[in-house]
Structure 1
Amino acid sequence: METIQKLERDVWGMDPIPVHQTATAIKNGGLMLGAFDENNLIGFSYGFPGYANGEAFLCSHMLGIHQSYRDKGIGALLKVAQREAAEEMGYNLIRWTFDPLQSRNAYLNLSKLNGICNDYLVNCYGEMVDGINKGLPSDRFNIEWRISSSHVKQQLNYDVTPIYPFEVVHRDDFPAISEMEQTLQHIDYNEMSIAVPIPAEFMEIKKHNPALAKEWREVTRKIFQQLFQHGYTAYDVQKNNHVSYIITIKRQKLQLDVRGKNQ
């Protein structure tokens, strides 16, 4: 636990979770996993038990990878190990949050792991001061990972073609969404699937054009809130050079059965 505290500091530059808290959670339904290069800890995931709407789940609170080992698929391996261990412990659901404007995380969580989301949390953690989150509202997707479902286990192809209603323009060498309000007023919410653009390199926008980064936050917040209110669920990501797309689908289309029961 103390070794993990050091990695927490390296990854986020903030005070780590106290060992007495993580140790207590692990002894009471929580789960801590490490990734190692020989004897060196290079990544970890940490979760504790959660309960909402009559259902127990694992709340996956932190996943961190040492800077020298990022973009090597280690995060995905940790999530797969977490899924396997959680199933052995009796969980059917794992939940966690992530920033929907971070395209790499979106691709991992939605496309590779087959998580889904129709729960948008506005300024989830309040004002954050670490280098990744400082300066913007901490909006988050609340991911739903139904680890025993056909959607997760069978890598299903739903054979739907999304529409792309939002026009992306370039402003000062960065992408931006044009005429979002007008577009939202004319969307046909009977469409089965709708694509929402997000920047491929949001941190570059945040670094060089903070005003545009804030605009992306506010614009996509309105779009996702509206889509989720009309029964859509985010479930996939299409990657492109400057703009990626989070693909939403009507929730009833997804196969979220757990042990024969439709959730």
Structure 2
Amino acid sequence: MTPGEQARVAAERCGVTVREVGTIAEFLLVHRLFTEIWRPDPSNPPVTVELMRALSHAGNYVAAAFQGDRVVGASAAFLAAPAGEVLHSHVTGAVRRGVGYALKLHQRAWAVARGLTRITWTYDPLVRRNAYFNLAKLGALPEEYLPEFYGPMADALNAGDESDRVLAVWRLGLPHVAEACSGRPYRPEVPDGAVAGLAARDGRPVRGGTDGPAVLVALPEDVEALRRDDPGTAKAWRHAVRDVLGGLMASGARVTGYEDGGYVVVPARDR
């Protein structure tokens, strides 16, 4: 199937219509959705109505998923360097299962139709469901670790934590990406002899070795619950993942995918 057909099928499966939006009334609906999801400080929304208006008018990507008249998902993205090659997805959120996937496939079809070859976005590397979604469901891969990327964040999901992010790069023409967009999640090869660079023991991070053909970097089951209920353990996970995953990536290691609750990383010497 073409990217457009894959996007249409994904939208039909979850009962929504995904399309670009361009009116103030529509941008207000998107703004309300993002406020519902992130519950930000009023002075620091994920994106303003005015910015969405400017992005859309300048030929960037602002789209929403509609269930009847209700917006149940939305995404805003802008063209990035190198010119003519990259779309950077700034914010995507949804309140119904399957809608985020439909939005990303619509975004991919939009980018491919304009001759773009990749889409990038940042996400919190500690959030396990997002890692699975980005790497397995979509076939994107982290290519850069970004400590404290946004500085302190004043919203209900991120407040009280350090805003480390990884840059996910979605290389739109790769075969495994096309497979993932057909509904077959991508699973990386895990070579024999892979070592646990970071594991979980009684809910806490335990560091191991990195001397192997691949390094497995575990994630907490629910870091958002830890931020609320056990901030000390959440902080321990933040620093452990920063040191192990961030350290490996800084040394040239490559994340090859998501498997069994964590990242599979191939050290630079084995590439």
TM-score (norm 2): 0.79
1:176 aligns with 204
Task: Select which of 116, 124, 133 maps to 2:149.
Answer: 124
Q: Which moved more, 1:76-85 or 1:150-159?
A: 150-159
Q: Which residue of 2 aligns with 1:57?
A: 86
> How far does the alpha carbon of each residue in 1:214-262 deviate from its partner, in whole angstroms, 9 at most, with x for none?
11001110101221133322232224xxxx21122368999xxxxxxxx
Residue 38 of structure 2 corresponds to residue 12 of structure 1: yes
CA shift digits 1:30-76 (9 cap, x unpaired): 11121111121111011011115x7741110111113xx2xx12111
Task: Note if contact 1:111-1:235 (Cα within 8 Å) is conserved in structure 2.
Answer: no
Q: 1:167 deviation in Å?
A: 4.0
SS of the counterpart of 1:213? helix
Task: Give 1:235's aligned residue.
Answer: 256
Q: Give the structure 1 partner of residue 98 of structure 2.
A: 73
> How much does 1:130 deviate?
0.7
1:10 CA displacement: 1.2
Q: Deviations 1:65-122 (Å, cap 9, x if unpaired)?
A: 13xx2xx121111111111111112211101000011101110001110001130001
Q: Which residue, out of 53, 62, 73, partners 1:43?
A: 73
Name the structure 1 match of 2:226. Answer: 205
Gaps of 5+ in 2: 1-26, 181-185
Picking from 148, 158, 164, the partner of 1:139 is 164
How many pairs are equivalent?
Answer: 234
Identical positions, percent? 27
In 2 relative to 1, CA 42–157 (structure 1 residues): closer, same or farther, beyond 3 Å? Answer: closer
Deviation at 1:157, TM superposition (A): 6.2
CA 1:210 to 1:159, structure 2 compared with 1: closer, same or farther past 3 Å?
closer
Q: Distance in 2 between matches of 1:89 and 1:253?
A: 36
Q: Does structure 1 retain, via aligned residues, the 8 Å contact 2:144–2:249?
A: yes
Secondary structure of 1:77's counterpart equals: helix
Letter in 2 for 1:44: A
Could you say if the C-alpha distance between residues 41 and 167 of structure 1 is closer, same or farther in structure 2, counting changes exceeding 3 Å?
A: closer
SS in 2 for 1:196: strand
What is the RMSD of the two structures over their aligned residues, measured on CA atoms? 2.3
Is 1:21 paired with 2:51? yes
TM-score, normalised relative to structure 1: 0.81
Are the aligned partners of 1:114 and 1:235 in contact in 2 as well (CA < 8 Å)? no
Give the counterpart letter for 1:246 in structure 2. Answer: Y
Counterpart for residue 21 of structure 2: none
In the alignment, is residue 83 of structure 1 matched against residue 108 of structure 2? yes
The 8 Å contact of residues 46 and 61 in structure 1, kept in 2 or not, is answered as yes
Contact kept? 2:248, 2:267, Cα under 8 Å:
no
* Structure 1, unaligned runs of 5 or more: 255-263
Tell me how far apart the structure 1 counterparts of residues 200 and 124 of structure 2 sit (CA, whole Å): 20
Match of 1:249 in 2: 266
Pick from 132, 137, 161 the counterpart of residue 107 of structure 1.
132
Task: State which drifts further: 113-122 or 228-237.
Answer: 228-237
Does residue 188 of structure 1 match 2:216?
A: no
Q: Distance in 2 between matches of 1:55 and 1:210?
A: 43
Residue equivalent to 1:261: none
Distance 1:112 1:157, change over 3 A: closer
The question of whether the paired residues in 2 share the 8 Å contact of 1:118 and 1:232 is answered with no
1:5 shift after superposition: 1.4
